[in-house]
């Protein structure tokens, strides 16, 4: 069964409602709350006149509406207009225990605000805050209970953030009518359904395509227990939730489709076998792009789901961490010839076994959060059979305390092969293009590190810490209950697991070429096996120049197929 666009036509399934009848705001009581220079620039319309009755919630993922103008997402009125402001002292009554970072903080969400600008928020009816409340890899939105403008103290509503609140935390305010001071900002007054908008420069609202997302079902399309069903050449856009859900079944395909402007995610695949996403464009998501779960990790029976020749860009716009372009969970996946770019956090998160990540372009991710990689894996030594080869990682250099990496193997991730990749301007602070934290038996071979902060960085654990974690109840459950690494399929496929208690921190770093890197290797120790990793001056050569086979061979490397990396057949690619 094929649901397909007719040749020459572009069918669009949309959950956005057109907004018309815009008027210049002239109500003096409202204008008095705004900066003087916006007079004559704020428009207002009644969304009830457009048939909208469900106004949603400003920060409730899945029920959070967005405003779009000519396909561009507009900004819920906020301060500061970009980035964050910094709090003063955390003032809750219960002090947090000290951490390795020596930060002071409290359990309760009570803290000083430092800018007089924020005093005017006390007149707002529903102030929300978004921020990194303790660690810069854990963001969350919070509601304000009250403000004391005399002491400049902010009191948040419960539930409080799980990690608590540190001194000098960073945050921003949103859902603030009084902060509509930049083109593109908007505010919905839920008491009467009036929507206020500072139209972008050059836009006449009643002549523009202005839409408001209204559909808040979990998915726009659900395909349950379907087999051999294809969606081809269709466009899905502007829902508060996610776009497409494939559950169970087999051999379903999403081909040449455009999925854009959703408050939550793009496409979910749950269970089934041999489902695929090919030649699509996914962009502008409040959360992630594609989430796939399937296969059987206990038996290592693969799902054989794949994503190829697809572009995912501008994701994790609202939920700023752990909402990647692709999140894989299970066994047996292939991610090939894709392009992932523009995110505050990771591009891929891998949780499971037997995953092939190849020929992908990944750039401009981990631009805001900390302690992340463009690929991120975390704390499970039974994850095995991961191959990351022939990908290009570019401009990944965020991180606020620890850093950002192209590939991040975090907390005991072991047995990963990283082969034939190009790392270009990757790594910062404590991280190189590849960062290994406490893992072993990883192989970093035949890669080009070009103008990176460092090639590979290590956070070695040592035998004592490795064994303590291996014997912890958390890891025991992961390796003997969730799966059993003593079982025949694990022992046969991953024979190195027979020595899981031995050789902590031992990894192989071999035949990599380092060109114009600031450092070669960070925190290397004698447990790392280092073989033939030449360091050269690029002398103006580009990665394309260096990847010529003769030059790579000169330094002992096998060919890296740089011109085969990225999408090959995607109708949405710009010429």
Using one digit for the tens of pLDDT, what is the confidence trace for 431-449?
999 999 999 999 999 999 9
530 φ, ψ (degrees, to nearest 5): -115, 120
Using one digit for the tens of pLDDT, what is the confidence trace for 345-389?
999 999 999 999 999 999 999 999 999 999 999 999 999 999 999
Q: Say how many C-beta atoms besides its own lie within 10 A of residue 527's C-beta.
A: 16
Query: Which residues make beta-bridge pairs with 329?
Result: 293, 351
Is residue 220 within a helix (H) or strand (E), and if so which, with residue range?
A: strand 219-224
Residue % of the chain over a pLDDT of 90: 96
Is residue 14 within a helix (H) or strand (E), and if so which, with residue range?
A: strand 12-14
Cα(246)–Cα(570) distance, integer angstroms? 22
Cα(445)–Cα(509) distance, integer angstroms? 6
Q: Are strands 23-24 and 42-46 parallel, antiparallel or unpaired?
A: antiparallel
Is residue 489 within a helix (H) or strand (E), and if so which, with residue range?
A: helix 488-493
358 φ, ψ (degrees, to nearest 5): -145, 145
CA 100 to chain CA centroid, Å, is 26
Least confident of 94-108, 210-224, 385-399, 552-566: 94-108
CA 352 to chain CA centroid, Å, is 18
For residue 28, pLDDT beyond 90 = yes
Q: Tell me what pLDDT residue 100 has.
A: 85
Q: Which two tokens stand for residue 264?
A: 């939550």
317: helix, strand or coil? coil
Q: Tell me what pLDDT residue 525 has.
A: 85
Query: Which residues make beta-bridge pairs with 62?
Result: none
Q: Which of 307, 321, 334, 338 is nearest to 373 (CA)?
A: 321
**pLDDT averaged over the chain?**
96
Q: Which two tokens stand for residue 226?
A: 């379907």
For residue 13, pLDDT beyond 90 = yes
Q: Which of 373, 364, 454, 366 is nearest to 416 (CA)?
A: 373
Using one digit for the tens of pLDDT, what is the confidence trace for 508-555?
999 999 999 999 999 888 889 999 999 999 999 999 999 999 999 999
For residue 118, pLDDT beyond 80 = yes
Q: Which of 308, 268, 303 is nearest to 288 (CA)?
A: 268
Are 351 and 333 in contact by the 8 Å Cβ rule? The answer is: no
118: helix, strand or coil? helix
Is the omega angle on the peptide bond into residue 159 within 30 degrees of 0, that is, cis? Answer: yes
Q: Tell me what pLDDT residue 470 has.
A: 97
For residue 101, pLDDT beyond 90 = no
273: helix, strand or coil? strand
Q: Which two tokens stand for residue 522?
A: 């960070």
For residue 215, pLDDT beyond 90 = no
Q: Tell me what pLDDT residue 92 has.
A: 95
Confidence of residue 99 (pLDDT cuts 50, 70, 90): confident
Are 534 and 556 in contact by the 8 Å Cβ rule? The answer is: yes
Question: pTM higher than 0.85, yes or no?
Answer: yes
Q: Say how many C-beta atoms besides its own lie within 10 A of residue 121's C-beta.
A: 20
Q: Tell me what pLDDT residue 575 has.
A: 64
Q: Which of 434, 450, 413, 431 is nearest to 541 (CA)?
A: 450
| Torsion sign over Cα 91, 93, 99, 102 | positive
For residue 268, pLDDT beyond 90 = yes
Q: Which two tokens stand for residue 538?
A: 């690029």
Are 46 and 65 in contact by the 8 Å Cβ rule? The answer is: no
Cα(226)–Cα(219) distance, integer angstroms? 16
Using one digit for the tens of pLDDT, what is the confidence trace for 225-257?
999 999 999 999 999 999 999 999 999 999 999
Q: Which of 227, 208, 251 is nearest to 69 (CA)?
A: 208
* Residue 139 exposure: Cα atoms within 13 Å on the Cβ side: 23
Q: Which of 513, 556, 557, 558 is nearest to 533 (CA)?
A: 513
Average pLDDT over residues 292-319: 98
Reading across the β-sheet that carries 339-341, which strands appear in turn?
12-14, 235-237, 258-262, 281-285, 311-313, 339-341, 361-363, 392-396, 422-426, 448-450, 513-515, 535-536
Q: Which two tokens stand for residue 350?
A: 């891998």
Measure the N-to-C terminal CA separation of the chain; round to a whole number of Å.
32
Q: Is 520 left (phi over 0), alpha (psi -120 to 50) or beta?
A: alpha
Average pLDDT over residues 261-280: 98
Q: Tell me what pLDDT residue 439 has.
A: 96
395 φ, ψ (degrees, to nearest 5): 55, 55
Are 16 and 243 in contact by the 8 Å Cβ rule? The answer is: no
Q: Which two tokens stand for residue 223?
A: 């395909």
552: helix, strand or coil? helix
- Give every CB contact of residue 307 below 8 A, 6+ residues apart in sequence: 276, 277, 278, 290, 292, 326, 334, 335, 336, 338
Q: Which two tokens stand for residue 309?
A: 């020749």
């Amino acid at each position: 069964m094929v649901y397909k666009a007719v040749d020459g036509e572009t069918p669009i399934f949309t959950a956005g409602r057109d907004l018309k009848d815009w008027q210049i705001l002239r109500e003096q009581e409202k204008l008095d709350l705004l900066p003087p220079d916006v007079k004559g620039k704020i428009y207002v319309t009644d969304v009830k006149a457009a048939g909208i009755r469900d106004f949603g919630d400003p920060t409730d993922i899945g029920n959070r509406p967005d405003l779009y103008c000519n396909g561009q997402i507009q900004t819920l009125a906020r301060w500061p207009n970009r980035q964050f402001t910094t709090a003063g002292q955390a003032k809750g009554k219960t002090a947090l225990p000290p951490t390795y970072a020596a930060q002071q903080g409290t359990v309760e969400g009570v803290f000083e605000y430092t800018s007089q600008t924020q005093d005017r928020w006390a007149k707002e009816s529903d102030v929300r805050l978004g921020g990194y409340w303790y660690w810069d890899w854990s963001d969350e939105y919070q509601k304000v209970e009250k403000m004391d403008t005399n002491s400049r103290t902010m009191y948040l509503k419960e539930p409080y953030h799980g990690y608590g609140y540190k001194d000098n935390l960073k945050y921003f305010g949103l859902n603030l009518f009084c902060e509509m001071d930049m083109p593109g900002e908007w505010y919905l007054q839920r008491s009467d359904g009036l929507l206020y908008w500072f139209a972008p420069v050059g836009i006449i609202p009643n002549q523009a395509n202005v839409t408001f997302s209204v559909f808040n079902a979990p998915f726009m399309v659900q395909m349950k227990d379907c087999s051999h069903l294809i969606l081809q050449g269709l466009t899905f856009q502007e829902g508060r939730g996610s776009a497409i859900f494939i559950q169970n079944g087999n051999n379903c395909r999403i081909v040449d489709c455009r999925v854009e402007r959703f408050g939550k995610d793009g496409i979910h695949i749950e269970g089934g076998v041999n489902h695929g996403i090919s030649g699509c464009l996914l962009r502008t998501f409040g959360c992630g792009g594609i989430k796939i779960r399937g296969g059987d990790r206990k038996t290592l029976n693969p799902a054989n789901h794949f994503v190829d020749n697809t572009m995912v860009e501008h994701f994790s716009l609202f939920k700023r961490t752990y909402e990647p372009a692709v999140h894989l969970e299970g066994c047996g996946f292939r991610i090939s010839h894709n392009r992932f770019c523009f995110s505050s956090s990771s591009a891929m998160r891998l949780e499971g076994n037997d995953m092939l990540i190849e020929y992908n372009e990944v750039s401009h991710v981990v631009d805001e959060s900390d302690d992340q990689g463009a690929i991120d894996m975390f704390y499970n030594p039974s994850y095995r059979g991961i191959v990351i080869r022939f990908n290009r990682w570019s401009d990944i250099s965020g991180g606020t305390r620890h850093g950002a990496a192209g590939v991040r193997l975090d907390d005991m991730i072991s047995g990963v092969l990283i082969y034939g990749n190009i790392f270009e301007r990757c790594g910062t602070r404590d991280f190189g293009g590849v960062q290994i934290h406490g893992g072993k038996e990883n192989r970093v071979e035949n890669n080009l590190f070009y103008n990176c902060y460092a090639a590979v960085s290590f956070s070695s654990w040592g035998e004592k810490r490795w064994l303590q974690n291996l014997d912890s109840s958390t890891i025991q459950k992961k390796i003997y209950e969730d799966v059993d690494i003593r079982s025949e399929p694990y022992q046969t496929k991953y024979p190195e697991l027979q020595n899981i208690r031995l050789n902590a921190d031992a990894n192989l770093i071999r035949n990599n070429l380092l060109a114009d890197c600031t450092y070669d290797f960070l925190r290397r120790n004698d447990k790392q096996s280092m073989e033939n990793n030449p360091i050269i001056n690029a002398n103006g050569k580009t990665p394309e120049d260096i990847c010529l086979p003769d030059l790579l061979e000169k330094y002992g490397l096998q060919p890296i197929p740089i011109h085969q990396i990225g999408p090959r057949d995607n109708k949405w690619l710009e010429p």
